[in-house]
Amino acid sequence: MQPIRLIRGFLSVGAWTLASRVVGFVRDMMIAAYLGSGPVAQAYIVAFTLPNMFRRFFAEGAFNTAFVPMFAKRLEDNDNPRGFAEEAFSGLAFTVFIVSIIATLCMPWLVLAMAAGFAGDERYDLAVLYGWICFPYIFFISLTALLSGLLNAGGRFAAAAAAPVLMNFILIIAMVLADRFGWDMGLAMAWSTPISGIAQLATVWWAAKRMGFPLRLRRPRLSPDMRRLLAVAAPAVLAGGVVQVNLLVGRQVGSFFDGAISWLTNADRLYQLPLGVVGIAIGIVLLPDISRRLKAEDTVGGRHAYNRATEFALFLTVPAAVALVVAAYPLISVLFKRGAYLESDVGPTAVALAIYGIGLPAFVLQKVLQPLYFAREDTRKPFHFAVWSMVVNAVLAIGLSPLIGFSAAAWGTTIAGWTMAWQLWRGTRAFGEAATFDDRLRHRLPRIIAASAVMGLVLWGVMELLGDALMEPGTRYLALAALVAAGMAAYGAAAIGLGAIRPADLKAGLRRQR
């Protein structure tokens, strides 16, 4: 087999994801500046969440979970991979088209299901209108997700990872034009959403054509391959439903506190940066690699890939989590406090960010552990684990909200994330040697934690030294840059000094793949 170069793949996907998230931050800062945490912002967030929720439910979450390992194994054996891909492409298109029609007809009820607290005020009517405009996005982005899975299985990560950058650029351009020409800002953002879906689909379809897979829509049929695909995908659909229930619970809790949906969303965006750059990148690269190694009966290589992915994930994620907790307030203040986003919004958003930061390593570990199940076409166990995490999330978010307010939604998400990660790790013992830690990982993990603790102390000390410079408009950007630089330097020095990493490791990962 021709194995995927893991570290190079992680860095390629991570770099494009970082670019997407940075542009996404610019988009979110512009939304905050133009709209603050007011009704238009909250209505658009809910409307935009609807197609994305269904996308994760059908395409990225369920369909691709089944499609990628099956396609990767066919690609490894050269067993008519294009025919299989076209059948899946057509079946997904038909399914999502039907879902889109039903959802459009049921939009008023879907908005209430997402944010019951909107009932009776202007946010509800705006969210329904924006939802009708935004929802066709699901059709284009679902097909984009499948084509991205196809590209990833072939070891071609750039186009799929770059496509989301287009969405953010299009939304930014829409806001700039709306501000320049006096258009309705909410409508401009809503209409730009399906347009961005078309642009992303065109990008990945062209990349798939260059790979030798110019997929065409066929008449959907329930072939034996599709029956197998559906049998594997069905538990993943249910698991995706559980994940969306968790998100729904958080939105519902937030909708009963004025401004909370914007606070939670902006905090979510910030912790999603390391999650996307590290966790999602690793999941994207690791799943096809382990799938192909299983087909080739390469247990040693599969174990090596799993351990290096875990090491890489924790090396980047643990310090990021510490930074989000320690420096939550200055991060939110510098990135979001401007225009209509006031000082009164900064504190609650920082609280949510610190809570999400505690859960960041768990969210990333899920992305590392899930491919061990999905590569074996086992989607049932992750579904059962997801159900338990849903129960934990719902009990905490709803039960604690009368006591601690909107932050109960963030605590529910974080504790449910750790619950899910622990269950996934415990379940991997059934996979034997392929899912065990090697000596290198066991040696370096405590050193990564120690180096992160050193970095946290340095961040706290620098924040004390900088003081008001982090809050003053004229100095806050430079002060935040100094804080970030100090943290990175401290972590790098501590990691090398304590033996958490060797510079030669990264060079070796880029040069070759075991």
267, 259 in Cβ contact below 8 A? no
Instruction: Please tell me the chain's helix, strand, coil percentages from 3-state DSSP, rounded to the nearest 5.
Output: 85, 0, 15
The residue among 393, 414, 439 that closes a domain is 439
Instruction: Classify each residue of 421-436 as buried b or exposed e, where b means 16 or more C-beta atoms within 10 Å of its C-beta.
Output: bbbbbebbeebeebbe
Domain tally, the chain: 2
Q: Identify whether residues 139 and 52 lie together within a single domain.
A: yes
pLDDT bin (cut points 50, 70, 90) of residue 505 is: low
| pLDDT at position 273 | 78
Question: What is the phi-psi region of residue 184: left when phi exceeds 0, alpha when psi lies from -120 to 50, beta otherwise?
Answer: beta
In a domain, 481, yes or no: no
Domain match, 401 and 289 both: yes
State which amino acid sits at residue 153: A
How large is the average pLDDT for residues 18-29? 78
pLDDT 10s digits, 143-160: 888 888 888 777 777 777
| DSSP track, 98-125 | HHHHHHHHTHHHHHHHH-GGGTTSHHHH
In a domain, 317, yes or no: yes
Q: Please check whether residue 125 lies inside any domain of the structure.
A: yes
Length of the chain: 514
Helix (H, G, I), strand (E, B) or coil at 338: strand
Q: Residue 317: what pLDDT?
A: 92
Is 314 part of any domain? yes
3-state SS class at 222: coil
| Digit-coded pLDDT (tens) for 307-361 | 988 998 899 899 999 999 999 999 998 888 877 777 888 889 999 999 999 999 9
As separate numbers, helices (DSSP H) first and strands (DSSP E) second, the chain gives 20, 0
Do residue 207 and residue 315 come from a single domain? no
> In 3D, which of 486, 371, 327 has the Cα closest to residue 9?
371
What integer pLDDT is reported at residue 240 of this predicted model? 55
Select from 398, 419, 439 the last residue of a domain.
Answer: 439
- Mean pLDDT is lowest, of 107-116, 162-171, 268-277, 443-452, for 268-277
| Cβ atoms < 10 Å from Cβ of 507 | 11
How far apart, in Å, do the first and last CA atoms of the chain sit? 12
Q: Is residue 126 part of a domain?
A: yes
- Single out the residue of 111, 106, 62 nearest to residue 88, CA to CA: 62
Structure confidence at residue 512 (pLDDT) = 45
Instruction: Provide the 8-state DSSP code for 221.
Output: -
Paired residues of 341 in beta bridges: 338
Quote the pLDDT of residue 448: 95
Average pLDDT of 58-63?
Answer: 56
CA distance 465 to 49: 40
Residue 86 domain flag: yes
In this prediction, residue 3 carries a pLDDT of 47
Check: CB of residue 329 under 8 Å from CB of residue 483.
Answer: no
* Whether 40 and 74 share a structural domain: yes
490 within domain boundaries: no
What are the structure tokens assigned to 273, written together? 């940066």
| Residue that terminates a domain, selected from 393, 411, 439 | 439
The pLDDT, as a whole number, for residue 485 is 93
DSSP 3-state of 341 = strand
Enclosing domain of residue 73: 3-242
Residues of the chain above pLDDT 70, percent: 90
Q: Is the model more confident about 454 or about 367?
A: 454
Average pLDDT over residues 213-222: 86
Q: What is the pLDDT of residues 193-207, one digit of tens each?
A: 999 999 999 999 999
Q: Which residue, 333, 416, 420, is CA-closest to 370? A: 420
Residues 364 and 430 in one domain: yes
